[in-house]
Amino acid sequence: MANRPLSPHLQIWKWGPHMAVSILHRITGDGMALVGLAVLLWWLGAMAGGEESYATFAEVMGSPLGMVVLVGLSWAFFTHMMSGLRHFVLDIGAGYELDTNKFWSVAAPIIAILLTALFWAVILLK
């Protein structure tokens, strides 16, 4: 066989925050599509099913496991939104400087965590 060059793959690329944020964007999108759709359909079915069905839904979603699911969905939403905004800025041609790209790759998930905490603080403290 000829010594042909290998295509770049994950063992060759140096991992950076921009790669992690990009992969996290895909994971959160899939998570919201699968888990979020399941919760939405259950909620709609519970509303259509009457008071008993909705009480069961509210009890499960109010339990610690249900709260983990709801907080996880809101975290996925804010993470996906922040990395989507980062990608939008890149798509318009800005933010390609290495320092700027690295800064927003690190800042996007941190801002998403802060937005999730703020969101749940507003909900729980009312």
Q: How far is CA 19 from CA 1, 23, 90, in A?
A: 33, 6, 14
To the question of whether residue 80 is assigned a binding role by annotation, the answer is yes
**Contact indicator for 49, 41 with CB cutoff of 8 Å:** no
Q: CA 74 → CA 3, 52, 81, 82, 115, distances in Å?
A: 50, 26, 10, 12, 9
Binding residue numbers = 80
Binding residue numbers for heme = 80
